[in-house]
Each structure stands twice: as C-alpha cells, then as structure tokens.
C-alpha cells in the first residue's frame, strides 16, 4: 500500500490521504492541482477500496505556475517531490487553498494521482513538498515527468494561464 502526505511550508496542515489511485480515464489528465468533483472526464480509482475519485477537467493550478521542481530527502531520509511556485502561482495556491478549506483537492503528476487531501488551512508559502510511500527513484521519475511537461508548455508557448 502506498500512502502519500503533502507538506508545504510553515502553517500548512493538509489532512493527508492514504488513497492509492490509478487513472481510469482514457484521456491523460494534465499535471497540476485539481478540485475533486462529483463527475468528470478524469477518473481515478482507489486500488484498495475501489472508490472512484473524479477531478475537474482543468487543473486549478497548472504546471505553468511552477517555477522549479526538485527532489530532496527530509531529515528522516524520506524522498520528496518539491514544487516551488512562481509569484503568480503562489497567489493562486493561497487563493485556491483558502477557497478549498475543508474540501478535497487532488495533486496529479504524469496522469498519476499522488494524493487527494482535504485542505485544512491555506498554503501561503508557495512551496509544496510531497512525500511518503515512494522511493527516491520514483520521486526522480515524477520530477523528470513534471519537468518535461513544464518544458513543453514553455517551449510551445501555450497560453495556459489565459485559460483559467
């Protein structure tokens, strides 16, 4: 069983999900932070409970707002995927987590739902550190996939920010 926790700066509390999910949709969900909804094109299935998690068709915060992605290990030696938002992304993350307080959100990377936590307080630091339940190799694979998607958006100059 894989369990994921998200830790993001001082004062952040996310009620970490222990849901282990795989994409059930035929379409690939772009990497980003999503609102969990009742029905959607993008469906993820909990491999343990069999419950389905639906996410909005577009991310609330997409990869164009990520300034830097990296991997690190914490003081306990646990690997983590770290996303640092740019100035606009930091504002969007704060507004999103403020609006979503008490509701479930989803973090998707490379069409894989890393976690679906309940937001318990706003994230104002602009930095997400997602850790727990995966190896350093898996974290590096996720980092590389996310970086590739970030580079594609920048290279193609897709106006993703205007879509939100």
Provide the whole-model pTM: 0.74
Tell me the residue range of the domain where 64 lies: 5-156
Q: Is residue 128 part of a domain?
A: yes
CATH number, residue 53: 3.30.1360.200
pLDDT tens digits for range 28-69 = 888 899 999 998 888 887 654 567 889 999 999 999 899 999
Q: Is residue 161 part of a domain?
A: no
**pLDDT at residue number 158:** 54
What percentage of the chain has pLDDT greater than the value 90? 33
Domain count along the chain: 1
SS (HEC) of the chain = CCCCEEECCCCCCEECCCCCEEECCCCCCCCEEEEEECCCCEEEEECCCCCEEEECCCCCEEHHHEEEEEEEECCCCCEEEEEEECHHHHHHHHHHHHHCCCCEEEEEECCEEEECCEECCCCCCCEEEEECCCCHHHHHHHHHHHHHHHHHHHHHCCCHHHHC
């Amino acid at each position: 069983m894989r369990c994921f926790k998200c830790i993001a700066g001082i004062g952040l509390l996310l009620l970490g999900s222990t849901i282990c999910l795989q994409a059930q949709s035929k379409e690939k969900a772009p990497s980003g932070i999503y609102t969990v909804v009742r029905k959607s094109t993008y469906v993820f299935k909990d491999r343990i409970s069999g419950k389905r998690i639906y996410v909005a068709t577009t991310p609330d915060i997409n990869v164009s707002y990520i300034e830097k992605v990296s991997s690190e290990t914490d003081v306990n030696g646990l690997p983590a995927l770290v996303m640092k938002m740019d100035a606009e992304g930091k504002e969007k993350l704060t507004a999103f987590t403020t609006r979503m307080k008490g509701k479930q959100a989803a973090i998707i990377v490379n069409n894989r739902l890393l976690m679906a936590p309940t937001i318990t307080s706003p994230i104002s630091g602009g930095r997400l550190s997602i850790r727990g339940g995966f190896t350093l190799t898996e974290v590096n694979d996720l980092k590389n996939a996310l970086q590739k998607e970030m580079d594609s958006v920048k290279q193609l100059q897709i106006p993703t920010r205007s879509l939100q």
